[in-house]
Amino acid sequence: MRELSIEGAWVREPEVFEDDRGSFHEWFRAPDLTAAAGYGLGLAQANCSVSARGTLRGIHFADVPPGQAKYVTCVRGAVLDVVVDIRTGSPTYRAWEAVRLDDRERRALHLAEGLGHAFMALTDDATVVYLCSRGYAPAREHALHPLDPDLAIDWPAGLTPVLSARDAAAPTLAEAERGGLLPSYAVCRDWYAALRGVTYARR
């Protein structure tokens, strides 16, 4: 597990074993994730999405607590997966980082509760599967506009983004902040500490 520049996000870069039959790799190992994050992923739901080239999904997040941690990989084709720090008060608030997930390198991305998640399909039939720590709860789920110019996410050139009606109508980060929709970094850190079974002393 390699930690990204945004606290709470890690990439798994597995060893892929290939021969004339195909390939094998371990895309998720609970002990590795627990060692990295300090707590495990309580699996509540597993999702699978299939997207046409250019499809842009996100930026999605859930209220914290309890939030929704995600562990994501691409089993067919390729996507550009993006984690966005939307936790107000975070040292990296508004920052984003992109990781290519594909069916060759077989990387997986883990996002802690409170982080925003989005991806763009780079191929047709791009198939993404992800494990979720909590089930879908519409009242706690939110979206931000993935083309928000203030975030300036560097989506791949030459692809026309295809958004759902919900994502196209989503607020910008600034609008969501003014509306009190965004998770707080302090609250998220307290929640992570609770999941680790420790008491976090605020500074």
- Look-up: residue for tokens 């295809």? 162
Rg (CA), the chain: 17
Annotation says 145 is catalytic: no
- Look-up: residue for tokens 């929704």? 68
Would you call 177 helix, strand, or coil by DSSP? helix
- Nearest Cα neighbor of 43 from 54, 58, 28, 55 is 28
- As given in the structure block, the two tokens for residue 34 are 């627990």
- Catalytic one among 60, 110, 117, 142? 60
The answer to whether the CB of 40 falls within 8 A of the CB of 100 is no
- Catalytic one among 39, 71, 130, 192? 130
Amino acid 73 reads: T
Annotation says 130 is catalytic: yes
Q: What is the largest CA-CA distance in the chain?
A: 56
Catalytically active residues, by annotation = 60, 130
